[in-house]
Amino acid sequence: MIAAISLLSLLALLFGLLLGYASVRFKIEGDPVVDQIDAILPQQQCGKCGYPGCRAYAEAIVQGEADINQCPPGGEVSILALADLLDCEPKPLSTEHGIEKQKMLAVIDESTCIGCTLCIQACPVDAILGAAKCMHTVIAEECTGCERCIAPCPVNCIKMVSIPLAVNTWKWPYPALPPTLQNSLEPVL
């Protein structure tokens, strides 16, 4: 009897140590759903959704504080992907957060730039290169087109231009359903 009790105590201690080690070794640092939502979002960090960045918006979606239709840069594609991931109904883009636009790129007119660095401070992805009282330029590969650099510029030397369609920027458009078929697919309440 004492042998059985000591054997069970030894097994309990062994499994407790094993579980303790496993909890430290395989600890998940964040919510995997937040990571999946963040991967779907366009990573513009523009704040048009009402949150300071895409990660904060993803966390708000998981906590139920935000809806899936608040990201104008992601547009309908991200709304459909989020609805599929979260297993909910897709919604039209919320117009109070903006409208879906073609991807844009900031361009600085270097002849009128005074080097105030206000645009550098406003850029959430550090896509503007320059120094105080020197001309600035935009790193095109880094610019997300968030338009946050336009408002602080005192001389209005920053313009947004649409990115021309090329092999590396073109995306296949999703097929549109005919209106009669689309109406028949809507759920009846």
Sorted by where each begins, the domain ranges of the chain are: 32-99, 102-169
Q: Annotated binding residue at 134?
A: no
> What would the mean pLDDT of 49-68 be, rounded to a whole number?
93
Query: Which pLDDT tens digit goes with each residue over 138-157?
Result: 998 889 889 999 999 999 99
Q: Is 116 annotated as a binding residue?
A: yes
Domain boundaries 102-169, CATH class: alpha beta
Residue 119 annotated as part of some ligand binding site: yes
Core vs surface per residue 165-184: b (16+ CB within 10 A) or e: eeeeeeeeeeeeeeeeeeee
**Residue 101 — φ and ψ, nearest 5°?**
-125, 165
Q: What is the mean pLDDT of residues 30-55?
A: 89
pLDDT score for 113:
92
157 is in an annotated binding site: no
Task: Write down the pTM of the prediction.
Answer: 0.65
Residue type, 134: C
Q: In CATH, what is the architecture of 32-99? A: Orthogonal Bundle (1.10)
- Residue 123 known to bind ligand: yes
CA-closest candidate to residue 45, choices 106, 124, 104: 124
pLDDT surpassing 80 at residue 77: yes
Lowest-confidence region among 32-41, 61-70, 166-175: 166-175
What sign has the CA pseudo-torsion 81, 82, 85, 90?
Answer: negative
Q: Is 146 annotated as a binding residue?
A: yes
Closest among 148, 151, 153 to 136, alpha carbons compared: 153
Write down the H helix ranges in the chain: 2-25, 32-40, 54-63, 75-86, 118-122, 179-185
Reduce the DSSP state of residue 105 to 3 states and report it. Answer: strand
